[in-house]
Amino acid sequence: MSSLEGKKVAITGGGSGIGAGIATALAAAGCHVLIGGRRQPTLESAASQMSGKVLTHVLDVADRQSVETFFQFAEKELGEIDILVNSAGINIANRRMDAMEPDDWDKVLQVNASGAYYCIHQVLPAMRRRKDGLVINISSIAGKRAISLGGVVYCASKFAMTALGTAISNEVRNEGVRITNVYPGEVNTPILDNRPVKVTQEHKDSILQPEDIAALVTAICHLPPRAHVPEIVIKPTTQEWV
């Protein structure tokens, strides 16, 4: 098991849900963590509940300038990033083809697919040079199966993330850089509040919790550099998998 003490970690979407869960776990494991998202108060409130070294910086992954500024801050405050977690993501309420608009398509693709690409683009050159680095893409089972729960554009964006992670990973496999696509099923996070049908508290309690994804990601981070997990599905026991 590799030690995570002092590893430099950047987490997009780290102010809530899965990203915050991963930040909490990696900071507790000794990593130096930077979390980013569009709402600074949310980032600060999340960071205040974490132990260890956790920095915050505003970030809009859909905006290339904002991504560049975020990673400049990361390098200045932490140094070169060892582990990037792409957890920033959105969905829309009207998910069916007959309900969504072209602007919805652009918005979701821009955050979920292009945003992940922009962030990997920032950290990859240094990882290749150092011959060491790990990228965790928080995709979704909607990145493996075009499920109606996710909807048209969310599934398309997560399939894009799947291809992004796999294609880059194959390019850099001989340079010590690993990319893992994580495909969670339903997780109890604020993103559920954007569902077309309200999710009951009973259902929220029965599905995965952010700390479950965090435990999985932490285990992947602990693996020695020779071991690569290209992709992994994690779902609530009760959720169907077809």
154 has catalytic annotation? yes
Query: Is 38 a residue that touches ligand NAP (CB under 6 A)?
Result: yes
Among the options 117, 118, 154, 183, which is catalytic? 154
Stretch that binds ligand NAP, among 23-31, 32-40, 117-125, 221-229 (CB under 6 A): 32-40
Smallest distance, Å, CB 176 to ligand NAP?
A: 26
Name residues contacting ligand NAP, limited to 49-108 (CB under 6 A). 59-62, 87-90
Phi, psi of 238 (to 5 degrees): -80, -10
Identify which of residues 78 and 208 has a Cβ nearer to ligand NAP in the complex.
Answer: 208
- In the complex, the smallest distance separating the C-beta of residue 99 from ligand NAP, rounded to whole angstroms, is 19
Q: Sheet containing 8-12: which strands, arranged edge to edge?
A: 54-58, 32-37, 8-12, 83-86, 133-138, 177-184, 231-234
Out of 190, 196, 225, 230, the only residue in the binding site for ligand NAP (CB under 6 A) is 190
Helix axis angle for 64-77 and 115-130, nearest 10°, is: 40
Tell me whether residue 133 or residue 150 sits nearer to ligand NAP (CB atom): 150
**Is residue 140 a contact point for ligand NAP (CB under 6 A)?**
yes
Q: Does 12 bind ligand NAP (CB under 6 A)?
A: yes
Residue 138 touches ligand NAP, criterion: CB under 6 A:
yes
Count of residues in contact with ligand NAP, rule CB under 6 A: 29
Cα dist. 169→7, 100, 136, 138, 178 in Å? Answer: 21, 33, 11, 15, 6
Distance CA 90, CA 37 (A): 12
Interface with ligand NAP, residue 216, by CB under 6 A:
no
Q: Which positions are catalytic?
A: 154
Give the footprint of ligand NAP on this chain (CB under 6 A): 12-13, 15-19, 37-39, 42, 59-62, 87-90, 111, 115, 138, 140, 184, 186-187, 189-191
